[in-house]
């Protein structure tokens, strides 16, 4: 069993910044090995979509077209933590942001397509006011 806990959400004005964090905890009796990590988001009335994914060795990162140039994903593998730095926020970035994880050996494309996501976090609300 893997637990993902997201923090850092909140209310911010357009043009502002937020930094989301997600800590992945693996139960002591579990043999799950953390691989790619990522973020999805779901706006009210819309489907859940990928925002950013990072490979296990941080060599590969993917960002959606809508956030590229404004958001950055990074990870601290020693702490099993993934971050999403969000700058120049827009009202259309308002959504619940979910942290996801795949096991070691999973390709980042599998996470991006959500087919290979093994666990989801509970989500953190980000609200951007105009």
- Degrees, nearest 5: CA angle 14-9-92: 40
Averaged pLDDT for residues 111-130: 96
pLDDT at 130 over 90: yes
pLDDT of residue 118: 96
Residue ranges of E strands in 8-123: 10-13, 18-26, 34-42, 49-54, 61-63, 71-76, 81-86, 95-103, 119-120
Integer CA distances (angstroms), 108 to 7, 12, 27, 100, in order: 23, 30, 23, 11
Chain centroid to Cα 83, Å, comes to 7
pLDDT score for 120: 97
User: Using CA atoms, how far apart are residues 118 and 48, in angstroms rounded to an integer?
Assistant: 16
Q: What are 43-96's pLDDT values in tens digits?
A: 999 999 999 999 999 999 999 999 999 999 999 988 899 999 999 999 999 999
Residue 119 has φ and ψ, to the nearest 5°, of: -140, 150
């Amino acid at each position: 069993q893997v637990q993902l806990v997201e923090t850092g959400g909140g209310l911010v004005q357009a043009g502002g910044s937020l930094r989301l964090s997600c800590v992945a905890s693996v139960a002591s009796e579990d043999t799950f090995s953390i691989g790619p990590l990522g973020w999805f988001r779901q706006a009210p009335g819309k489907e859940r979509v990928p925002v950013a994914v990072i490979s296990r060795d941080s060599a590969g990162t993917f960002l959606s077209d809508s956030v590229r140039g404004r958001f950055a994903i990074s990870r601290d593998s020693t702490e099993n933590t993934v971050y999403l730095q969000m700058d120049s926020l827009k009202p259309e970035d308002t959504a619940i942001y979910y942290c996801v994880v795949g096991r070691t050996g999973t390709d980042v494309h599998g996470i991006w397509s959500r087919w290979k996501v093994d666990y989801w976090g509970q989500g953190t609300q980000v609200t951007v006011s105009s």
